[in-house]
Amino acid sequence: MTELKLKTISFLASGRGSNFEAVAEEIQKGSIKAKAGILITDKSDALCLSKADKLGIDSLFVDPKKYSTKQEHEEEIIRHLENYGTDLVVACGYMRLLSPFFINRYKNRIINIHPSLLPAFPGKNGQKQAIDYGVKITGCTTHFIDEGTDTGPIIMQSAVPVFANDTVETLSSRILIEEHKILAQSVHLFCEDRLIVEGRKVIIK
């Protein structure tokens, strides 16, 4: 059996980067057989930058305000991703919608984490949407990004109960624990070539 070539995983994040940190630590421990590429953020003060520094992973702020069009901004991001030989892009709390131009460049090679059981509660504030709707169970989903909002083929999901006294904060913190698990597992499966996309479905080999 031929040994798999180590894939390079790069990251897009806008905030504190706890999902980035969870995956990067698994790469460094060897649980995910891959190399860390670069973390790119669209916020100069994003906390994920200090996490990358602590982990010894290269990071970069690419300022969207410096570019006259979305595509020019994305072209600059792609240039850096390609410099690192990126095989997979992990979007972990990246708050900027990716254009069809970017998505097609990395078709079925961008994994996103979302804090609900998709297709329920897509878009922003999935945890608040779940509480407001009154569901008893929510959770989180990893999926490949397509051109819709949280509509891409689903890789993994994990269910989390919603309690009567939950606030957005308490529910979010319980969901986040599961996010870290399934995002790392999804990246691990990608790196082992065990994810096959057939139409809307992701088959795990």
pLDDT tens series, the chain, 205 aa: 456 789 999 999 999 999 999 999 999 999 999 999 999 999 999 999 999 999 999 999 999 999 999 999 999 999 999 999 999 999 999 999 999 999 999 999 999 999 999 999 999 999 999 999 999 999 999 999 999 999 999 999 999 999 999 999 999 999 999 999 999 999 999 999 999 999 999 999 9
Q: What is the Cα–Cα distance from 42 to 4, expressed in whole angstroms?
A: 32
Kindly state the DSSP code that residue 2 receives in the 8-state scheme: P
Task: Print the SS3 string covering 10-27.
Answer: EEEECCCCHHHHHHHHHH
Number of domains in the chain: 2
Range of the domain at 163: 112-205
pLDDT value at residue 21: 98
pLDDT value, residue 181: 98
Same domain, 83 and 116: no
> What's the pLDDT at 5?
86
State which of 57, 90, 106 marks the end of a domain: 106
**Do 101 and 117 have their domain in common?**
no
- Catalytic residues, by residue number, are 114
Shared domain check, 165 and 86: no
Looking at 43, 73, 106, the residue that finishes a domain is: 106
Looking at the fold, whether 33 and 86 belong to one and the same domain comes out as: yes
Q: How many C-beta atoms surround the C-beta of residue 60 within 10 A? A: 13
**CATH code at position 197:** 3.40.50.170
- 63 and 11 within one domain: yes
Domain boundary among 83, 106, 129: 106
For residues 53 and 151, membership in a common domain is answered with: no
- Is the domain of 30 the same as that of 74? yes
Looking at residue 3, what is its pLDDT?
66
In a shared domain, residues 1 and 84: yes
Rounded to two decimals, what is the model's pTM? Answer: 0.95
- Residues 2, 78, single domain; the answer is yes
Assess whether the previous peptide bond of 100 is cis (omega < 30° from 0): no
Shared domain for 147 and 198, answered yes or no, is: yes
> What is the reported pLDDT for 55?
97
My answer on whether 16 and 96 are in the same domain is yes
